[in-house]
Structure 1
Amino acid sequence: MPAEKRKVSRVVLLDPDDRILLLHGFEPDDPATSWWFTPGGGVEGEESREEAALRELVEETGIVDVELGPVLWKRICSFPFDGRRWDQDEWYFLARTTQTVTAPAGFTELERRSIAGSRWWTSAELLAARETVYPTRLGELLRTLLDEGPPRDPLVLDPEIV
């Protein structure tokens, strides 16, 4: 029987200009291997997915002025990172903020070794980006979100297995 997937809450955080905040991550033993990704992380103990999303956002960005919205997308992913395989069941929450200055308040030891900073991106910048971004269709997904609003029911994204 396969091991249970790690429950993860991620945040599609938009500022008043509809820019999305992404973190710049890298493989601890190979900083040249890097990518951009949404803030978020694993659900801890008995907390809800919503509670995990807000906690992770504060820990990774220092942003506390947040209006958490609905779940936009769900995906299953599996990838190697820091010498082990991560099998995750991710939920992506929409969130809005007016607070655009970031100050990580609680990076874990692993995050300190694997996150190089953050950046606000426009959908046009994301669509034109040559860098690796996860989920891989984030530029298209963001453009659709901004054009059409949140989906009635969360979209199930294709699994990403690396």
Structure 2
Amino acid sequence: MTTATSARRVRRAARLLVTDDAGRVLLFRFTFGGRSPFWATPGGECDPGESFAAAARRELLEETGLACDPGPAIAERGNEFVTAEGEPVTADERYFRIRVPTCDIRTDGHTELERQIMLDHRWFTRAELAGWHETIFPPEILTLLERAEA
């Protein structure tokens, strides 16, 4: 007996490691679909035809209110997951490091879906990242931050 399998769509995304003057990293808390809450970096899917760098710039402004040049990608990552809309995808992610002074984050550029599922954000210290009681994505965030600083 064989089962039909469908290929997952490749979801190209720019993810942002936003750090402040104190070395803390900005994460958003996601809560949706009966899943356990988790924290993740700002960022999101590239629009059709959009480069990773252009998506990083756009997502940074939309999700944080910060208008900064993301510079070059510092890391690539792939994984499989199910989106908030319930679509199984294979992620093709590029990570960008943005350093900003300690500042207030503006979320007025969030989409309706983001307003529903991204209800909180905070700046995390490295110690907090290492011992946080909820899941943090990407799991190797401390390694990515160390690599970005090298």
TM-score tier (shorter): 0.7 to 0.9
Q: Deviations over 1:119-158 (max 9, x none)?
A: 1111121112121000112134324544xx2xxxxxxxxx
Q: Compute the RMSD of aligned alpha carbons.
A: 2.0
Of 93, 98, 112, the residue aligned with 1:95 is 98
Identity of aligned residues (%): 34
Matched, 1:75 2:77: yes
5 Å matches for 1:25-36? 25-27=30-32, 29-30=33-34, 33-36=36-39
Matched, 1:132 2:126: no
Q: Tell me how far apart the structure 2 counterparts of residues 7 and 68 of structure 1 sit (CA, whole Å).
A: 17
Q: SS of the counterpart of 2:129?
A: helix
Q: SS of the counterpart of 2:55?
A: helix
Q: Tell me how far apart the structure 1 counterparts of residues 83 and 19 of structure 2 sit (CA, whole Å).
A: 27
Q: Deviations over 1:37-62 (max 9, x none)?
A: 00001111332211100111111111
5 Å matches for 1:103-142? 103-142=106-145
TM-score, normalising length: structure 2 = 0.84
Q: Tell me how far apart the structure 1 counterparts of residues 83 and 57 of structure 2 sit (CA, whole Å).
A: 24
Q: SS of the counterpart of 1:107?
A: coil
- The answer to whether the 8 A contact 2:62-2:109 is kept is yes
Residue identity opposite 1:101 in structure 2: D
Q: Tell me how far apart the structure 2 counterparts of residues 127 and 139 of structure 1 sit (CA, whole Å).
A: 8
In structure 2, list runs of 5 or more residues that go unmatched: 1-5
Residue identity opposite 2:117 in structure 1: S
Q: SS of the counterpart of 1:2?
A: coil
Between the two proteins, the alignment pairs up a number of residues equal to 144
Rg comparison, structure with higher value: 2
In structure 1, list runs of 5 or more residues that go unmatched: 150-162
TM-score, normalising length: structure 1 = 0.79
Shift of 1:99: 5.1
More strand by share: 1
Q: Tell me how far apart the structure 1 counterparts of residues 112 and 29 of structure 2 sit (CA, whole Å).
A: 16
